[in-house]
A and B are shown apart, each in its own frame.
Chain A
């Protein structure tokens, strides 16, 4: 039973490029959450999605960031026109219902 799969594990982007982070939830999990972690800090909530629906995006920056969880395929966190301040570890978690998270290993984004 594979865990939450995130890819890529490491992503380097130049300022102004787009970053696409993917998250495949555990089998049977229909709830997906994205969190961001800056160095030496705790995780900050970004967005909560169920299949084809955004449930809570109160932690998403107003511009450049978007997320989706299509009926088929992984959840995608998209960051357009990346800036140095976007460099962080981005974690995805999934759950079979509203509670009971399992986290993936994260994608470490570096903007150069």
Chain B
């Protein structure tokens, strides 16, 4: 069974601070995605990383896929209240279509 552990589970920070969320596994994934989910809604895809060592930037968000494709990180610079939500990583193994989701990181950004 493939597992994706996210840390931290909860994070409460003030506007303007930086933060990093980690997603770790002992399994290799062919691709990894990050989603943000707001209360009462479905997850919304932020990014997909495919190549080991790949770094992608989305405005103030920076995503990295580990060299061995077993882990990933999400770094947010100068967090804003609009970044508040549940952040989920999800990996795809081989050619499988299904995703294995991480345990989630709940981020709260206050003024």
B104 near A48 (CB under 8 angstroms)? no
A41 near B104 (CB under 8 angstroms)? yes
Bound together, the chains give a CA A93 to CA B42 distance in angstroms of 9
The dominant DSSP class at the B interface is loop
A103 near B44 (CB under 8 angstroms)? yes
Q: Flag whether B16 is at the interface (Cβ < 8 A).
A: no
A55 near B97 (CB under 8 angstroms)? yes
* Contact size range, B: 20 to 34
What are 5 of the A-B contact pairs (CB < 8 Å)? A41-B103, A98-B95, A98-B97, A102-B45, A105-B40
- Name B residues whose Cβ lies closer than 8 Å to a Cβ of A: 4, 6, 31, 35, 40-45, 88, 90, 92, 95-104, 106
Bound together, the chains give a CA A103 to CA B6 distance in angstroms of 21
B43 near A91 (CB under 8 angstroms)? yes
Bound together, the chains give a CA A55 to CA B98 distance in angstroms of 10
